[in-house]
Structure 1
Amino acid sequence: MTVIQVLFCILFPAAAIWAGERFRAAKFLGPVTLCYVAGVLVANLPGVRLAEGASMRVSEVAVPLAIPLLLFSSDVRQWPRLARSLLISFALACVAAVVAAGFIGWFFRGETDEWWKIAGMLVGVYVGGTVNMAAIGGVLETKSETFVLLNTADLAAGGLYLIFLLTFAQRLLLRFMPPFTAAPHPEPFEHPGEGLGTWTRHHLRDMGLGFGLAVAIAAVAVGGTLLAFGKLEASPALLGITSLGIAASLFPRVRRLQGAYELGEYLLLIFCVAMGSLADLRMLSGGSVTLFVYVWAVMGLAIVLHVTASALLRIDADSTLICSTATIYGPAQIGPVAAAMKNRALVGPGLTLGLAGIALGNYLGLLTAWGLRWLAGGG
């Protein structure tokens, strides 16, 4: 049964991708939602008992390997060359996420003993993405059911905000923010630019090299942690993996690895199935409502703070929205949002900022969590 469970976690993402390319409803939900729902459904089937340890091992392996694969296509040397308005708005979005999570987290500190961990995880997801939230949750030893509830609330809130971005967000912001003025952006912003469903045999070699490099990075980070501390410490191992992934992205050959980013996304889908399989619907009561309010409050306040600060600094509406998309969703939704705004000029910069968010999310999330714990007198 354990072998079947692991194989289901590994293989179902392929079915989710296939369905998303062929069925309108599956495309609307997206592979991430399908994978979570599949995991939850299997976990709650009558008469089915899953091995919790197997799902935990799958998730613990998937995240450290996904982080470097997602970072390989980034180029930190391009970040300072972005338009000044984009850099400022991106920085404001990151600060807004930290302030919102810190403020709301402090307000909820009496509701759950994991309030400071949740704040750090939410900074990770609203600066980078789900991979950051998962990695930070692992470092802080957050309960698996807490992560499942947080991600469920994030999917619900994120879905509503995405609808807003794709419909009338631009028109609303243009009422009090200046319009976008075309400005030259450095090209190319190196990113595979391919969907998960576009893999071919030509990608296999590069994907194999990327996966091998990700394994080597994880091994070096874990080995270095063991040598330095005499035992495996999650925090330095995670920061080591992130830093080595950024360092590897400085090499053009690594950035040109076709399919590496998509392979990282596939590992995240495996993680989603595994985490969903840990969900027990009986826990959706009592404290779950508090966590839902917590997540929605942080996301809403972060967006309001970011837009308000950008408006005060006279940053244009399109740049503000593309930075909000890059931090809230990562690179995945940059294309659709840019298309909705009819502004292709921001696709490249948006992808770059989305990858920058993934790189920064772990650092900012852990610093926020540790800072809140220190302020609360937790050492």
Structure 2
Amino acid sequence: MTIIQVLFCVFFPAVAIWAAERFRAARFLGPVTLCYVAGVLAANVPGVRLSADTAMSVSEAAVPLAIPLLLFSTDVREWPRLARSLLISFALACVAAVVSAGLVGWFFRDRTDEWWKIAGMLVGVYVGGTANMAAIGRVLEARSETFILLNAADLAAGGAYLIFLLTFAQRLLLRFMRPFTAAPHHEAFEHPGERLGAWTRHHLREMGLGFALSALIVAVAIGMTLAAFGKLEAGPALLGITTLGIVASLSKRIRALAGVYELGEYVLLVFCVAMGSLADARLLSGGSVMLALFVVLVMGLAIVIHVALSALLRIDVDSTLICSTATIYGPAQIGPVAAALKNRSIVGPGLTLGLAGIALGNYLGLATAWGLRWLAGG
């Protein structure tokens, strides 16, 4: 049964991707939602008992491998080249995520013992992505059901906000923010991992090299942690993996590896299936309302603070919305939102900032969590 469970986690993402490419309903839900739901359904099939230890092992292996794969496509040397308005708005979005998570977390501190962990995990997801939230939760030793509930609430809240971004967000914000003006800095930076999505024999070799390099980075980070502390410490290991991934991305040869970013996304889908399979229907019925409110308040307040500060500093609408997309959703939704804004010139910078968010999410999330715990005297 363990082998079947592992095979299900590894291969169902391929089914989800195939379905999303061919069926409108599946495309609307997206592979991430399909994988998460599939895991939940598998965990609640009558007469079937899945191993929680197996699911946790798969998820704990997936996240460290995914982070370098997602980072290989970025180049930190490009960040200063972005337009000033984009850099400022991106920084404001990061600050807004930290401030909103801190305020909401402090408000909920008497309602759950994991309030500071949840705040840090939400900073991770609203600066970087799901991989950051999972990694931070692992470092902070948050309960697995906490992540499951947070992820479910984030999917619901994020879906609602995405509809807003794709419909009337630009028109609404133009009432009190200035419109976008093209500038030479808004050139479309190309990222091979974003540009090449075909899983062909031609790309499999480079994807294999990327996976091997990611595994090597994980091994080196773990080895350094064992040498420094005498045991495996999740925090230093995670930060080491993130840092080494950023350093590796400085190599033009590594950035040119075709399909590596998509491979990282696939590994994240494996993680989603594994985490979904940990969901027990009884857990989803208790305490979920409070955690859902926690997520909605953090996300909503972060968006309001970000937009307000951007408007105050005279940042244009398109830059504000693409930075909000980059931090809350990562690179995946940059294309659709840019299309809705009718502004192709911000696609490249948006992808760069989405990858920058993945790089920064772990640092900011852990700093927020540990800072809140310190303030509470813990």
Superposed pair shares fold, TM > 0.5: yes
Listed one character per residue, the Cα deviations across residues 77-130 of structure 1 (whole Å, up to 9, x for unaligned) are 000110000000000000000000000000000110000000000000000000
Residue in 1 aligned with 2:285?
285
Given that 1:191 and 1:351 are in contact with CA atoms closer than 8 Å, whether structure 2 keeps it comes out as: no
Residue in 2 aligned with 1:9?
9
**Could you say if the C-alpha distance between residues 138 and 262 of structure 1 is closer, same or farther in structure 2, counting changes exceeding 3 Å?**
same
The letter of the residue matching 1:19 is: A
Given that 2:120 and 2:366 are in contact with CA atoms closer than 8 Å, whether structure 1 keeps it comes out as: yes
- How many Å separate the matches in 2 of 1:21 and 1:14? 11
Residue in 1 aligned with 2:129?
129
Residue in 2 aligned with 1:339?
339
Given that 1:90 and 1:323 are in contact with CA atoms closer than 8 Å, whether structure 2 keeps it comes out as: yes
What aligned pairs does 1:109-148 form with structure 2 within 5 A after superposition?
A: 109-148=109-148
Residue in 2 aligned with 1:50?
50
- How many Å separate the matches in 1 of 2:4 and 2:287? 32
- How many Å separate the matches in 2 of 1:167 and 1:139? 38
Listed one character per residue, the Cα deviations across residues 224-244 of structure 1 (whole Å, up to 9, x for unaligned) are 000000000000000000000
- How many Å separate the matches in 2 of 1:308 and 1:152? 28
- How many Å separate the matches in 2 of 1:195 and 1:303? 31
Residue in 2 aligned with 1:304?
304
Listed one character per residue, the Cα deviations across residues 276-321 of structure 1 (whole Å, up to 9, x for unaligned) are 0000011123311100000000000000000000000010000000
- How many Å separate the matches in 2 of 1:195 and 1:295? 34
- How many Å separate the matches in 2 of 1:119 and 1:187? 34
Given that 1:114 and 1:142 are in contact with CA atoms closer than 8 Å, whether structure 2 keeps it comes out as: yes
- How many Å separate the matches in 2 of 1:32 and 1:11? 14
Residue in 1 aligned with 2:276?
276
What aligned pairs does 1:172-191 form with structure 2 within 5 A after superposition?
A: 172-185=172-185, 186=187, 188-191=189-192
Given that 2:327 and 2:354 are in contact with CA atoms closer than 8 Å, whether structure 1 keeps it comes out as: yes
Residue in 1 aligned with 2:152?
152
Given that 1:138 and 1:234 are in contact with CA atoms closer than 8 Å, whether structure 2 keeps it comes out as: yes
How large is the RMSD of aligned CA atoms in angstroms?
Answer: 0.8
- How many Å separate the matches in 2 of 1:159 and 1:296? 12
Residue in 1 aligned with 2:354?
354
Residue in 1 aligned with 2:69?
69
**Could you say if the C-alpha distance between residues 49 and 195 of structure 1 is closer, same or farther in structure 2, counting changes exceeding 3 Å?**
farther
Does the alignment pair 1:87 with 2:98?
no
The letter of the residue matching 2:331 is: P
Listed one character per residue, the Cα deviations across residues 172-192 of structure 1 (whole Å, up to 9, x for unaligned) are 010000000001135534342
Structure 1 unaligned segments of length 5 or more: list them: none
Given that 1:93 and 1:323 are in contact with CA atoms closer than 8 Å, whether structure 2 keeps it comes out as: yes
What is the aligned residue count? 377
The letter of the residue matching 1:188 is: F
Residue in 2 aligned with 1:257?
257
Does the alignment pair 1:215 with 2:215?
yes
The letter of the residue matching 2:261 is: Y
Q: Flag as ranges the 4+ runs of structure 1 deviating above 3 A.
A: 186-189
Listed one character per residue, the Cα deviations across residues 45-68 of structure 1 (whole Å, up to 9, x for unaligned) are 000100110000000100000000
The letter of the residue matching 2:277 is: S
The letter of the residue matching 2:5 is: Q
Structure 1 residue 199: Cα displacement: 1.0
Listed one character per residue, the Cα deviations across residues 132-178 of structure 1 (whole Å, up to 9, x for unaligned) are 00000000011000000000000000000000000000000100000
Residue in 2 aligned with 1:244?
244
Residue in 2 aligned with 1:23?
23
Structure 1 residue 340: Cα displacement: 0.3
Residue in 1 aligned with 2:193?
192
- How many Å separate the matches in 2 of 1:362 and 1:231? 21
The letter of the residue matching 1:209 is: L
Residue in 2 aligned with 1:318?
318
- How many Å separate the matches in 2 of 1:29 and 1:267? 18
Given that 1:116 and 1:369 are in contact with CA atoms closer than 8 Å, whether structure 2 keeps it comes out as: yes
SS in 2 for 1:284: helix
- How many Å separate the matches in 2 of 1:156 and 1:352? 26
The letter of the residue matching 2:193 is: P
Given that 1:16 and 1:35 are in contact with CA atoms closer than 8 Å, whether structure 2 keeps it comes out as: yes
- How many Å separate the matches in 1 of 2:285 and 2:373? 26
Listed one character per residue, the Cα deviations across residues 200-257 of structure 1 (whole Å, up to 9, x for unaligned) are 1111111011000000000000000000000000000000000000000000000000
Q: Percent identity?
A: 79
Q: TM-score if structure 1 supplies the norm length?
A: 0.98
- How many Å separate the matches in 1 of 2:155 and 2:8? 22
